[in-house]
Amino acid sequence: MSETAGRSVLQICPNDHPPFKDICRYYATAASTLGWSVTTFFLGPPQADPLDDAVYINAANLRRTAALAGSLRRAWQSEAGRTLGGKPPTLALCHRYRAFRILLASDLPVKKIVTVAHEFGFFARRQRRLTVRARRLAGRRDLIFAGVSDAVQRELLAVDPHAVLLPNGIDLARADRLRFARAEARAFLGLADDTFCVGVVGRLHPKKSPALALEGFRLAARAMPGAHLVFIGSGELAASLQRAARDLSVTFAGFVPEAARYFSGLDLLLLPSSSSEAFGMVALEAMAAELPVLSSPAPGPSYVLGSQGDYFQPATPPVLARALESAYGRWRTQDHGGATTKSARERASALFSLDAAANRLRRLVEPVPPDQ
């Protein structure tokens, strides 16, 4: 038996909406490569296709912490009794504060709790800060708070000096298996092979700044004959964006499950995200697909991309338009940035792969003796 075998992980997430189902699958797969037993709990019913081997807790009132905590406790006791002989979990991985609060209320005897902040403002509420400080004063060193990017971690450190970095990641082999060939992806998008296609992938929400993408494309359109813009995603801004795009070569594909499957049909991924973007999952998926990325200087995508992407700054339509024109020029001359996109995938493999996640998980539990 390896030094890390025999450990068990309890993973809790508020729901399986994108991107959380993929995030939970990523950590479950990474932990299983270490020989650990993993049980994932979603606090609510499945959105569409349930995640294999996950437990969906559908309490009568999903807003009541006590009800969910009781359901979580009973579900874990059932799962642990079946698979672990009733032993307590070595590690609880809580995605967002709500999962952490419900775990505490469940009174499950977890050896170490890691709560992941997937957004900024995690400790904005005073009660959350007081909870953490009180538990620190009580000598609770089994609690760890983690940020998904360096910027989120820095924000956490202002409240908890023990906060760590625990980024999301990608299963590169799975992404490669799912990705369509370029011809198939282009057929889905309704594009000819000689069309320069810019993709914007994500919710059509102010946080994602899709209007900036549209206006930048409008300003650059005359200098990019034949270019096409595709929005993959749905949201509250869909109707207004469609009205504004009536005179442009733009497609609104709506919500597409596993949208990264179609990245082979794009020539450029555009990330116009605002400064509140805490990570850059879509950027990471593009890196895996060796797709060039043009991004705003938002902290999340910047952390993921590092030097392996192009940036437009400041994030204004005229600056974006010039950056799009430059990308179009490179495409016209067949300079697709091959060396850059290959090194981007190498960065994804080094920092955000299953191996990288397994190493981080191992370090988190090193002080905890394995179950005997």
The pLDDT tens digits for 332-357 are 987 554 446 889 999 999 999 999 99
| 184 and 84, same domain (yes or no) | no
The one-letter amino acid code at 282 reads V
Is residue 17 scored above 50 in pLDDT?
A: yes
Any domain includes 307: yes
| pLDDT at residue 364, as a whole number | 92
Over residues 48-55, mean pLDDT: 86
| pLDDT at residue 79, as a whole number | 74
| 162 and 180, same domain (yes or no) | no
**Confidence band, pLDDT 50/70/90 cuts, at residue 48:** confident
Report yes or no: 168 and 278 within 8 Å, Cβ to Cβ.
no
**Confidence band, pLDDT 50/70/90 cuts, at residue 1:** very low
CATH number of the structural domain spanning residue 88: 3.40.50.2000
Any domain includes 370: no
**CA-closest candidate to residue 268, choices 332, 172, 361, 362:** 332
| pLDDT at residue 86, as a whole number | 63
Side-chain-side CA neighbours of residue 320 (13 Å):
26
Any domain includes 165: yes
Rg (CA), the chain: 22
What tokens were used for 307? 């030097």
Tell me how far apart the alpha carbons of residues 58 and 41 are, in angstroms, rounded to a whole number.
Answer: 10
User: What is the domain extent for residue 61?
Assistant: 8-171+353-365
| 198 and 275, same domain (yes or no) | yes
| 358 and 331, same domain (yes or no) | no
Q: What is the DSSP string of 76-107?
A: HHHHHHHHTTTPPPSEEEEESHHHHHHHHHHT
| 167 and 279, same domain (yes or no) | no
Any domain includes 3: no
Is residue 8 scored above 80 in pLDDT?
A: yes
| 317 and 187, same domain (yes or no) | yes
Q: What is the pTM of this model?
A: 0.92
| pLDDT at residue 344, as a whole number | 95
Name the residue with higher pLDDT: 63 or 283: 283
| 135 and 263, same domain (yes or no) | no
| 201 and 166, same domain (yes or no) | no
| 22 and 158, same domain (yes or no) | yes
| 340 and 198, same domain (yes or no) | yes
Tell me how far apart the alpha carbons of residues 13 and 77 are, in angstroms, rounded to a whole number.
Answer: 18
| pLDDT at residue 372, as a whole number | 41
| β-sheet bridge partners, residue 93 | 11, 114
| pLDDT at residue 335, as a whole number | 58
| 101 and 242, same domain (yes or no) | no
pLDDT tens column, 213-265: 999 999 999 999 999 999 999 999 999 999 999 999 999 999 999 999 999 99
Mean pLDDT of the chain: 90
Name the residue with higher pLDDT: 174 or 274: 174
Any domain includes 372: no
CA torsion through residues 305, 306, 308, 313, sign: positive
| pLDDT at residue 367, as a whole number | 60
pLDDT tens column, 22-31: 999 999 999 9
Could you give the dihedral angle defined by the CA atoms of residues 330, 206, 24 and 309, in that order, rounded to the nearest 10 degrees?
Answer: 20
**Confidence band, pLDDT 50/70/90 cuts, at residue 366:** confident
| pLDDT at residue 139, as a whole number | 65
Any domain includes 333: yes
Q: How many domains does the chain have?
A: 2
**CA-closest candidate to residue 300, choices 35, 17, 19, 14:** 19
pLDDT tens column, 96-109: 999 999 999 999 88
Any domain includes 44: yes
| pLDDT at residue 184, as a whole number | 96
Q: What angle do CA 105, 96, 34 make, to 5 degrees?
A: 95
| pLDDT at residue 260, as a whole number | 96
pLDDT tens column, 200-216: 999 999 999 999 999 99
Q: What is the DSSP string of 317-336?
A: HHHHHHHHHHHHHHHHTT--
| 218 and 302, same domain (yes or no) | yes
Q: What is the DSSP string of 202-269?
A: S--SGGG-HHHHHHHHHHHGGGSTT-EEEEEB--TTHHHHHHHTTTS-EEEEE--TTGGGGGGG-SEE
pLDDT tens column, 156-183: 999 998 899 999 999 999 999 999 999 9
Any domain includes 94: yes
